[in-house]
Structure 1
Amino acid sequence: MGKKQKAAAATGKAAAKAAKKAKSAQKIERKEGKKSKKRDDSDERADDQDLEAILDKIKREWEEAHKVDEEVVGGPPSRRANATLTPCPSGNYLWMIGGEFFSEDGKAHFYGDVFRYTPEKDEWRQFASPTCPGPRSAHAVAASPRGQLFLFGGEFSSLYQNNFHHYRDFWSFDVNTHMWERIETKIRPSARSGHRMAMWKHFVVLFGGFYDPGIKTHYLNDTWLFDTTEYKWQQLQMGPNDRAPSPRSGFSFFATADGIILHGGYCKEYVKGKKVQGVALDDTWFLKMDTEVKAIKWSKRKKIGYAPSPPRSGCTMAFWSAKGTGVLFGGVTDVKEDDETIESVFYNDLYGYVTAGNGRWISLALRKPKKKPGEAARRKKKAQQLLQQQQLQQQRLAEYARRQEDEDERDDDDDGDARTVTGESDDEDDGDRIKATPATSDSTAKQLLLAANVIVPAQLAELDTDAPDPDDPALTIPMARYNAMLAVLRNTVYIYGGIVERGAREYTLDDFYALQLDKLDRFTTLRPCDIVFGEGEESDEDGDDDESGSDSGSENDDNDEEEEGSVTVVDPDERKTEDVEEVEVEVEKPPEDDLRARATAFLGVTRSPDPSRTAEDALSTPMPGETLAMFYARSRTYWAQKAFETGASDNRGKMLRRDGFARAEERYKEYKPLLEEVEKILAEAGLDEEEMRRGAARPSGAAAEGNRNRR
């Protein structure tokens, strides 16, 4: 028994020890578990803190990238062309985006800034953000009722236009937050400029435009739709029997309740064997819209009513929604007078296109203010009375002068006799008369002269029915131009800038006007045109080189050579055809391969600024597309100076100009074969005759300005 009890006690002790160890192990395990849990909680909190820091960093970076700087500017934006002026979809504002300006030194400046105009305050504000579209011009903008401005495409070039870039990016601008957002889609329209966009319900509709890689301009006529609910682009597919507008750019494009109106534009016609010709289009099309894309169709509209004539490019149209009417302003027509002269005719008239039904054109002429009843008759009667008064005053003046002359003669004949006989008292009276007469006569004469020659004519001038009426609204119309920016806000149309030509130069305008369409009374000038046109570019010079009043015949023709901005030289033109024939016979052309190589090199020099080329060399060298008359008109001062320095002529007037022209003619003959080969190269590349001549009228680097604006 004792042994068994001892064994049982030993077993109990062992079990107790094992239980104690197990309990201790569990305790240690619990402690380790708590420590592990603490570590896990600590790590989890650290991860949460790191994630919050990352999100905070991302937020700060985004805010920095989308930070908007707002600034009130002193007036309208700087001079620029091919920008967009868009009515605000959710407020009484105008938005201007982008644009381009070509300075006098031939440099191209592109803008990417955003301006907002408030009519009530006549205030301009500028908004800038790091996240925004790049500088561009000839882009398109459409406004959404949700408070967004959608922007697509446009172009940009290097400073001297050696390289061009066409955008195909798509952006959205929030008019409330003033932030830009780039919209990336796999399918989208190709890169282009000069296209147009309009907003119809939830669709952004895009049509046409051009793509110019540098030499030849490719025009487009595809139609694209962007669904703002799905954020997807899709191209409108045309059936074999479906009609659509021809390829074009620079047209008018606006949305109505049922669809979209397209009018006019510009393109170039390519005919095999002929030079490319620029064409101003005047057709009108209607895009019948539908929420089902397959049901959207183009249809051409007939020309009904008082349409703009002749066809013009660069005219701008904006939609007046209150009356369902498109408002058109300005434009230009290039008239080819002969092989060497292209005359540009600019317009500043106002037309309306009523979109209801089949559409109808109307003239939006300003209304003259109504005069009071009988105002014209009253003015006429008053003028007659003043004329009678003037005649009476002149008669009195003539009678007074005759009496004075008679009295002077009698005084001379009776010199001193009356005083000797009448005595001292008579002398005093006579002396008083003699002293009083001059003062009285001077006063009377002055009064009569003043009445007859000053007062009455001034009153007549005020009543002159033939003089311009200061209340005539025609005096407030902006000068003729093309490519003006146009926008209608409520019942007011706003016109900003545009382009006008004087002689061989183009000027980008920066004036700003407003017109109440429901009144059509007069334009309000919000900013006047402060551009000073070049001397002689608005009118001919006075021909101050004439030394003799007996000049006539051919000498009068020489005066026409002094006209600034003209490309016609009258005297040389009398033998122009004969000279060209002589050049073709006399000038020996180099081998064709050598001539083509020289022409290619010469074309590169004229298109790109060469630091080694002096200003004298550029002035004395004919340009591609430049006729003899144009070359002499551009450089006649240089050749006259050369003739004077060499002492070739002792005369300083017409003979000096004749000698200068002879030198210019000799220089032109020297380059004639090279110029002809260059023109062949340009014609093969698709450059039309108009572009060659306009390019020749501008300095190197600025030649493309006219071409760009005509595109």
Structure 2
Amino acid sequence: MVKKKNKKGRGAEKTAQKMAKKSKKEEGMEDLEAMIAEFKQMDKKKTEFYEEKCTKPSPRCNLTVSVHPEKDELLFFGGEYDTGHKTYVYNDLFAYSIKKNEWTQQFVPNPPPRRCAHQAITLARDGGQMWVFGGEFASPTHSKFYHYKDLWVLGFKSKTWEQVNAPGGPSARSGHRMIGFKKQFLVFGGFHESSTNFVYFNDLHSFDLTAYQWSKLTPNGNGPSPRSACHLLPTSTGVLILGGYSKVKLKKDVDKGTAHDDMFLLEPETLPKEGPVIKWKWGKVKESGEKPSSRSSYGITPIGGNRAVMFGGVFDEDEDDEINSVFYNTMHCLDLSSFRWFPFKLRQGRTGKPGKKDKVDAVAGNGDEENAPENDCEESEIPETADKEKNLVWVPCGRMNPLIVAKGGYLYLYGGAFEEDDKQVTLNDLWSLNLKNPTTWNQVFESDDTSKDWQESDSSSSDEEGKADEACGAEDEECDSKQHPNVVLHESFDCYWARSSEHWLELMSDAADEDTPADKIREAAEDMARANYKLEKKEMKRKMEKEKTDS
């Protein structure tokens, strides 16, 4: 059985390598690589570290949130925003100060290229570090993908990004998972996709943080099947791997997806006195308790006490060639020693700030589970006779791909997405929950309304109409400013340019002659963005003065 697993893993890697070579030959891939190179040139213009106070990050999915190892800060990196008509990809870095309750955007020289579906972990080494591996860059039409296999480290003390060029690492991929373990970190799974095919991985790699070397691991026993978007959690004896998603091709243009609900334990066979663990073994875990219903794309994080908390997720049900999606906002707790599940229930209370569509009943739940969230993994129940009108609590709405982390006795939840009719709504709200006294969620920042941005486009004619509309310049007052990324109140131009530059560069590239130098396109794009920025700021000021006058 082990040999079959390893053989399948090697086959997946070979397939991915062939796909990577083939994708470079696909029509338009040269443009994609040129776009990435253009963004790299833009990033080289910033040679010194600086930071600015700003609003929360713009709406996006498939970013990473990490806990600063030495400060009360949460770090947000990268991600993508899909409007249905166009995709934006980012490589900006934001820090949220828990004590000050404020955001700053950090401009660090030589950042990784723009990406999403990557992985990032923070380590308390050399003044603190954040390591980033892999991910993907999607074309504006979300039809072509460039997968990364690069490794980067951000030094919090030196305030610099550095690309680590170590051979023998994992192949290019996204949707993988990464976790630190003693003096190494592990990378597992993921997928590689081209416009015509895809492959999922179940290979395991280790990076030695002392020697800066990659090693491919071949644990004994039967491990997980190929998958992406699974979760890695630390246990007292090793690493727990649970869940994930994969799909198989049934026939041309027909795929079938699977949400995995199995669980495996990866443990060292021996613990060396020095250096990373090389010999590992797989073990299948037998779960118990009230296991959550089948779902994928949920968030889960360790909260101390050898336990982890899970929130949200989505279940897709195929019915007559239609996919019906159920988005969850319930919570569950997992004991990382006994692997026993039970609901995480909020205690009675009615505090905190509600958000749109976020009111649920502490007794009745949200309709997707029989039980609502439970307090810090204890099994106390809210009495069935409780007065429902007096025991309302506020819970983030159901969503997929929420990002959750624990810091200082609090659980923090950021963003995610859900579907509303035919629209995908991308969230950028921030919530906190006191794990010591979990009466209700506190909405720290509300989400922007992104439903109006969704522009589903199914035909080539509508694509051409969209391009024609976008050709309108920012200085043309007859141009609808909603065609361009909106300026946020109190946002500096540097912050605005960092998150919207892709939009302006594409506009200028389409309008420019073929022999126009890249630096001239950059300058014109920045001038156009600045003009739109000033125009919107002027309009904001006019509205604020009018409101003061009216009041």
Q: 2:218–2:280: 8 Å Cα contact kept in structure 1?
A: no
Which amino acid is the alignment partner of residue 194 of structure 2? P
Q: Mean Cα displacement is larger for which, 79-88 or 280-289?
A: 280-289
8 Å Cα contact 2:405-2:413 kept in structure 1: yes
Give yes or no for the alignment of 1:281 onto 2:249.
Answer: no
Q: How does 1:511-526 map to 2 (within 5 A)?
A: 511-526=429-444
Distance 1:79 1:613, change over 3 A: closer
Q: Pick from 136, 161, 165: which aligns with 1:180?
A: 161
Provide Cα deviations, 1:541-570, integer angstroms capped at 9, x if missing partner.
xxxxxxxxxxxxxxxxxxxxxxxx9xxxxx
- 2:241 is equivalent to residue 267 of structure 1: no
Q: Is the 8 A contact 1:158 1:164 kept in 2?
A: yes
Alpha-carbon distance, 1:178 to partner: 2.6
Residues 1:492 and 2:381 are matched in the alignment: no
User: How far off is 1:268 after superposition?
Assistant: 0.8
Which is strand-richer, 1 or 2?
A: 2
* Deviation digits for residues 460-518 of structure 1 (CA, Å, limit 9, x no counterpart): xxxxx998535522xx1011000111111132111111111011111101111001112
Counterpart among 148, 159, 174 of residue 167 in structure 1: 148
Q: Secondary structure at the match of 1:469?
A: helix
Residue of structure 1 aligned with 2:445, choices 524, 527, 539: 527
Structure 2 gap segments, 5+ residues each: 1-43, 351-384, 469-551
Relative distance call for 1:297 and 1:520 in structure 2 (3 A) is same
* Residue of 220, 234, 245 corresponding to 1:255: 234
Alignment-mate amino acid for residue 263 of structure 1: L
Q: Which has the higher helix share?
A: 1
How much has 1:125 moved relative to structure 2?
1.2
Asked whether 1:353 is paired with 2:271, we answer: no
Partners in 2 of 1:606 and 1:254 — Cα distance? 43
2:229 partner SS: coil
Give matches, 1:528-607, under 5 Å.
528-531=446-449, 533=451, 606=459
Q: 1:613 to 1:224 in 2, by over 3 A?
A: closer
**Aligned with 1:304 (options 285, 288, 300):** 288
1:92 aligns with 2:72: yes
- Identity over aligned pairs, percent: 34
Aligned residue for 2:313? Answer: 331
Check whether the contact 2:316–2:325 (CA below 8 A) recurs between aligned residues. Answer: yes
Paired residues of 1:253 and 1:317 also in contact (CA < 8 A)? no
**CA contact under 8 A between 2:53 and 2:103: conserved in structure 1?**
yes
Letter in 2 for 1:260: V
Alignment partner, residue 225 of structure 2: 246
Displacement of 1:130: 3.2
Tell me, in whole angstroms, the C-alpha distance in 2 between the residues paired with 1:198 and 1:171. Answer: 15
Q: Would you say how many aligned residue pairs link Structure 1 and Structure 2?
A: 383
Structure 1 residue aligned with 2:191: 210
- Counterparts of 2:109 and 2:74 in 1: how far apart (Å)? 22
Q: Are the counterparts in 1 of residues 412 and 432 from structure 2 also a CA contact under 8 Å?
A: yes
Larger Rg: 1
Aligned to 1:366: 346
Q: 8 Å contact 1:86–1:96 — kept in the other structure?
A: yes
Cα deviation digits, residues 31-79 of structure 1 (max 9, x gap): xxxxxxxxxxxxxxxxxxxxxxxxxxxxxxxx99651121111x32110
User: Partner residue of 1:458?
Assistant: none
Query: 5+ residue gaps in structure 1?
Result: 1-62, 371-464, 538-564, 566-604, 616-711
The structure 1 residue matched to 2:58, chosen from 78, 92, 110, is 78
Tell me, yes or no, if structure 1 residue 314 matches structure 2 residue 270. Answer: no
Which residue of structure 2 aligns with residue 421 of structure 1?
Answer: none
User: Equivalents in 2 of 1:212, 1:66: separation in Å?
Assistant: 34
Conserved in 2, the CA contact under 8 Å of 1:84 and 1:97?
yes
Distance 1:243-1:467 versus aligned 2 partners, 3 A rule:
closer
1:509 maps to 2:442: no
Deviations 1:66-94 (Å, cap 9, x if unpaired)? 51121111x32110000001111222211
Please list the CA deviations of residues 109-152 of structure 1 after superposition, one character each: whole Å capped at 9, or x if unmatched.
Answer: 01101111111111111111331101100000122121111100
TM-score, normalised to structure 1, is 0.51
Hey, what's the Cα distance between the residues in 1 that align with 2:314 and 2:296? 5
**Contact 1:162/1:608 (CA < 8 Å) preserved in 2?**
no
* Partner amino acid, structure 1, of 2:246: C
Q: How does 1:347-426 map to 2 (within 5 A)?
A: 347-356=328-337, 358-369=338-349
Aligned partner of 1:314: which letter?
Answer: S
Q: 1:294 to 1:170 in 2, by over 3 A?
A: closer
Computed over aligned residues only, the root mean square deviation of the Cα atoms, in angstroms, reads: 2.9
CA contact (8 A) 1:141 1:150 kept: yes
8 A contact 1:66–1:179 mirrored in 2: no
Structure 2 CA distance for aligned equivalents of residues 247 and 490 of structure 1: 35
Closer/same/farther in 2, CA of residues 185 and 533 from structure 1, 3 Å limit:
closer
* 2:392 equivalent to 1:472: yes
Instruction: Name the CA distance, whole Å, in 2 between partners of 1:503 and 1:491.
Output: 37
CA separation of 1:64 and 1:340: change in aligned 2, threshold 3 A? closer
**Cα 1:237/1:324, change in 2 over 3 Å:** same
Q: Secondary structure of the equivalent of 2:113?
A: coil
Query: For residues 168 and 70 of structure 1, what CA distance do their matches in structure 2 show?
Result: 28
Residue equivalent to 2:369: none
Contact 1:143 1:198 in 2 (8 A): no
Change in CA separation of 1:529 and 1:612 when aligned onto 2, cut-off 3 Å:
closer
What letter is aligned with 2:260?
L
Distance change in 2, residues 1:211/1:117 (3 Å): same
1:109 aligns with 2:88: yes
Aligned to 1:623: none
Any idea what SS the aligned residue of 2:244 has? strand
| CA drift at 1:335 | 1.6
Which amino acid letter does the alignment assign opposite residue 259 of structure 2?
A
| Secondary structure in structure 1 of the residue aligned to 2:260 | strand
8 Å Cα contact 2:423/2:451 also seen in 1: no
Q: AA paired with 1:330?
A: G
Given the alignment of the two structures, is residue 140 of structure 1 paired with residue 119 of structure 2, yes or no?
yes
Pairwise CA distance, 1:533: 4.7
Q: Distance in 1 between matches of 2:165 and 2:257?
A: 36
Q: Is the 8 A contact 2:207 2:213 kept in 1?
A: yes
Taking the aligned partners of 1:116 and 1:506, their CA distance within structure 2 comes to 26
Give SS of 1:302's match. Answer: coil
One-letter amino acid of the counterpart of residue 120, structure 1: K
Q: Give the Cα–Cα distance (whole angstroms) in 2 for the partners of residues 273 and 610 of structure 1.
A: 25
CA–CA separation in structure 1 for the residues paired with 2:131 and 2:450:
37
1:288 is displaced (CA, Å) by: 0.8
Tell me, in whole angstroms, the C-alpha distance in 2 between the residues paired with 1:466 and 1:275.
Answer: 49
Q: What's the TM-score, normalizing by structure 2?
A: 0.65
Q: What amino acid maps onto 1:316 in structure 2?
A: G
CA distance in 1, matches of 2:204, 2:322: 37
Q: Distance in 2 between matches of 1:608 and 1:192?
A: 33
Letter in 2 for 1:306: E
Instruction: Give yes or no for contact 1:197–1:205 (8 Å, CA) kept in 2.
Output: yes
User: Could you list the per-position Cα deviations for residues 350-378 of structure 1 after superposition, in whole angstroms to 9, with x for gaps in the alignment?
Assistant: 1111111x4111211101149xxxxxxxx
